[in-house]
Amino acid sequence: MVDITNDDIGESNRLALWEMMLKLRLVEKKAYDLFLQNLIKGTSHLALGQEAIAGAFGVSLQEGDYTFCTYRGHAHTLARGSSIEGVLGELMGRQCGLMKGKGGSMHLTDVDKGVMGSYAIIGAHLTIANGTALASKYNKTKEVSVCFFGDGTTNIGAFHEALNMAQIWKLPIVFVCENNLYMEYTPIGEVTAVENPAADRASAYNMEKIIVDGNDADEMYRTAQALSKSKRR
């Protein structure tokens, strides 16, 4: 059982998380401004208001750990230490971008920082994330894989396959559902039979579930720290 008791996280940790969240907010606002100026082509999915989730894991994970995220992945990429120039450059299709402008907003990757990609296909990355976790277990190293996804992903078959595989193989992976209550324009409650789309289904795979307020920065920090520690073998 993961312990996330309500201990004070300390001012130094709180300041580090605040600085991270502020950076994520300012860069996302800049991305929005660039989008309005038509300097970012296509679309751009922002994580405004969700900075505590990416930020808490960003300050909790270690070098060598792996993260996977959805097309809403600017914040998660920056939180692992990728450069602002590299992220914004990629959004604008510039040579200075993380993939030299060939990936764009929905396909951010920075392997040197453990950022194993943003994925435009809903649910595609969950089983891939199991792969890095399996490699860590096989090689007897201590890397942790963290896989972020939205509430809508829980209605995709790969979600269930990934959770089942992870639990059978006892993989060092954390699945993080960022539940913003909507699947694009559809309220999640209208298309899902359970109240908590990810957590309530975890029991079917004998997995521990933790439900936290994603806007409570202290709680997110405690949770991210406890989960990364529990999975590090």
Q: What is the pLDDT of residues 55-108, one digit of tens each?
A: 999 999 999 999 999 999 999 999 999 999 999 999 999 999 999 999 999 999
Write the DSSP symbol of residue 106: T
Check if the beta carbon of residue 188 is closer than 8 Å to that of residue 182. yes
Would you say residue 1 has pLDDT above 90? Answer: no
Cβ atoms within 10 A of the Cβ of 72, count? 21
Task: Collect all residues with Cβ–Cβ distance below 8 Å to 40 and sequence separation of at least 6.
Answer: 31, 34, 91, 92, 105
pLDDT band at 37 (very low <50, low <70, confident <90, very high): very high
All domains in the chain, ordered by first residue:
11-231 (3.40.50.970)
**Three-class HEC string of 133-199:** HHHHHHHCCCCCEEEEEEHHHHHCHHHHHHHHHHHHHCCCEEEEEECCCEECCEEHHHCCCCCCCCH
Taking the C-alpha atoms of residue 127 and residue 159, their distance in angstroms, rounded to an integer, is: 8
Going from the C-alpha of 171 to that of each of 59, 139, 142, 176, 211, the distances in angstroms are 22, 12, 11, 15, 20
Check if the beta carbon of residue 94 is closer than 8 Å to that of residue 172. no
Write the DSSP symbol of residue 110: B
Give the pTM: 0.94
Residue pLDDT, tens place only, 177-210: 999 998 888 999 999 999 999 999 999 999 999 9
Tell me the two tokens of residue 36: 């309005």
Cβ atoms within 10 A of the Cβ of 186, count? 11
Residue pLDDT, tens place only, 110-133: 999 999 999 999 999 999 999 999
Please, what is the Cα angle at 45 between 44 and 49, to 5 degrees?
135
β-strand pairing of 145-150 with 182-183: unpaired
Quickly list H helices, the chain: 11-36, 51-60, 74-79, 84-91, 124-139, 157-169, 199-202, 217-231
